[in-house]
A and B are shown apart, each in its own frame.
Chain A
Amino acid sequence: MAMPGSPRRRTSLTALLPTAGLLPLVLWQIVFFVVPVALIVGLSVWRRENYRLIPDFTFNNYAAILARPAIWRALLLSAETAAFVTVVCAVLAYPVAYFIAKKAGRWRGLLLVAVIAPFWVSIVMRVAAWRLLLGERGVINQMIMALGLTDEPLSFLLYSPVSTAIGLIYAYLPLYVLPLYAAISNIHDSWIDAAMDLNASPARTFFEVILPLSAPGLVVGAVFCFVFGLGEFVTPALLGGGKQLMFSQVIQDEFQRRLDWPSGAAMAVVLLVLVFASLALSMKWIRRASGEAA
């Protein structure tokens, strides 16, 4: 039956070709995602004696880090900051995305490029620029003082959770605009017209039709912002000031200053689990929403 060059064999070969095209992607994922994560997970169950790593299978590292109040404070700060940033980004991104999707007309392409443009500059440079704006003698404080709104510069603007939040909102806004733009462009004008035609005021039309149909974009954008915000390192490191640490900073501290790699790895795994949990929740929601629509 399976003679060389028989039609059957040839079909299975042609069927394999597209799969072979996936190979680079699979390799990339294995080398740069699966292996490092596996290493971290493995490391998190080892133990440390006299600054030496000893292979083991223990959950003591987890018990130890979860018993440290500082860990919980950092985790809470990260979650709070990520949630706050997510909500503010949603509120700021919505009108922008709506305008680009529905009102911009021929300017749409240009505006989308403008939304993406910040990504062409390194995040470190962009965040550093915020220092010039937020510092005690920064542009914003000097302006406020020149206007006579306050006698002393506002010190909480830089090196505080506030400045971290400002930096993150700035960094993540495009990430929220894009999925929202995609969702809002999928809303037919005739649906909006139909609501108005059936005596829904513009406000009613927004809450009855436009907002519910933007939900996929809102969820995807929220996942981006929250997940990235939860694990963000660069922005809090540059703007946060180091007095109140976010979770990613605590992990870094554990690896580099305390040299406790197994504990650091356990923290990283905790963060990973939280991220996967929020991803799974949103995927479930999206699948249910689109499943119902299909």
Chain B
Amino acid sequence: MTELSPNAVELRAVSKVYGASTAVREVSMEIPRGAFVTILGPSGCGKSTLLRMISGFVTPSSGDVLIDGVSVVGAAPYERDTAMVFQDYALFPHRTVAQNLAFGLRMRKVAKAEIERRVEAMLELVNLSGFGDRRVSQMSGGQAQRVALGRALIVRPAVLLLDEPLGALDLKLRRQMQAELKTIHRDLGLTFVAVTHDQDEALTLSDRIAVMNGGALEQFDTPENLYRRPATRFVADFVGNANLLEARLGADGRVEAQGLPLALFLTPAQRGGRAAGAAVALVVRPETIAVGAAAPESHDGRVEARVEEIMFSGANQQIVGRLPDGRRLTAHQSAALPAPERGANAVFSWPSQSVWLVDA
């Protein structure tokens, strides 16, 4: 019966209103079974509320939440087939690691022998074999994170929910856990829904990313589409770095970028059905820009800017230029390329194929 819907989770126009403020506004989303979906947005964008509506801790003011094709609005958290990895891990301090792992199975009345077997297997899966009898207070941050993950995974939920799962770890550990999380997701084939404000994490982990802003869903798409073809100015700015240049669409595919001598010709796909005269912003990713001596002739987007800052970061250099009208342009290019001179004028160039438009 549960196989009727291909979606593990479906949100239909869910909203959550707290008094005068709207935390989540008419969000609709279909999360396919087996996908790794990340809800990404700045703090206060409603992403955690959305996650808590799936887990059942928050009841939507309107709209419907379906898990495995069945509406669960009105069902308590303990009646839902979801399991959550909490931001602070929320490990039971009075239980050992093994007892924490066994908790969900005991509540689901799984036979004792089966629980023991699955706990042992889970300890192995999350690389904690031999740690079963430890107190959770003896675990390091990374280990506690694995226990929390294991405790949720072990019940094989229809949806595994992760609330900023790696937020408390340092950068190196976070990278390592990201890789492990991805492997575990692939091996188990469960549906993962994570919440994060870290766009790198979202891009690395997810099949699909839902970008939220001010309670509304801005775009729900693959990481690549989000980056290359952002639907809104917010997405373009929030996901990755972007130079946003105000412009107006001219006739026959030309772009007039407010006083910049640009001669860009855009394809109909890039124009996205916008009529001539539409106010737009050009999205130019820093890594598509070449500077000075490195700027090839083939680049048709060319402006001259004063080199204001050059930041060297090992493999790359970040070059900040200031346009005559005061706007800034950031370029990332390989540190192997010749660096322009600080304070001098240099050509910043990019190919028009790499440009994307969003509504201004």
Within A180-209, the residues touching B (CB, 8 Å) are 188, 190-191, 193-202, 204-205, 208-209
Contacts of A200 in B (CB 8 A): 78, 103, 107
Q: Contacts A191-B93, A193-B57, A293-B135; is A199 near B108 (CB within 8 Å)?
A: yes
The B133-157 residues at the A interface (CB cut-off 8 A) are 135, 137, 151-152, 155
A292 within 8 A of B: yes
Is the beta-carbon distance between A292 and B90 smaller than 8 angstroms?
no
What's the least CB distance linking A198 to chain B, in Å?
A: 4
Nearest CB in chain B: distance from A203 CB, A: 10
Q: Which residues in A have their C-beta under 8 angstroms from that of B63?
A: none
Centre residue among A194, A212, A292, A293 by max chain B CB count within 10 A? A194
Tell me the B63-97 residues at the A interface (CB within 8 Å). 76-79, 82-84, 86-88, 90-94
Q: How many residues of B contact A (CB 8 A)?
A: 27
Cα of A198 to Cα of B94 in the assembled complex, Å: 16
Instruction: Tell me the bound Cα distance from A166 to B155 in angstroms.
Output: 49
CB under 8 Å from chain B, chain A span 198-226: 198-202, 204-205, 208-209, 212-213
B7 contacts the other chain (CB 8 A): no
State whether B93 touches A195 (Cβ < 8 A).
Answer: no
**Does A294 touch B at the CB level, under 8 Å?**
yes
Contact of A197 among B82, B88, B91, B93 (CB under 8 A): B82
Whether the Cβ atoms of B76 and A196 lie closer than 8 Å is yes
Assembled-state Cα–Cα distance A40/B76 (Å): 62
Cross-chain contact A194 with B86 (CB below 8 angstroms): yes
Cβ of B12 to closest chain A Cβ, rounded Å: 23
Give which listed residue, A197, A202, A204, A293, contacts B83 with CB less than 8 A: A197
Q: Which residue of A lies closest to B57 (CB)?
A: A193
Knowing that A198-B78, A292-B135 are A-B contacts, what are 12 other residue pairs whose CB atoms are under 8 Å apart, sorted by A's residue number? A194-B86, A194-B91, A195-B92, A196-B76, A196-B78, A197-B77, A197-B84, A199-B104, A208-B103, A209-B94, A293-B94, A294-B137
- A interface, CB within 8 angstroms of B: 188, 190-191, 193-202, 204-205, 208-209, 212-213, 292-294
Interface residue ranges, B against A (CB under 8 Å): 55-57, 76-79, 82-84, 86-88, 90-94, 103-104, 107-108, 135, 137, 151-152, 155
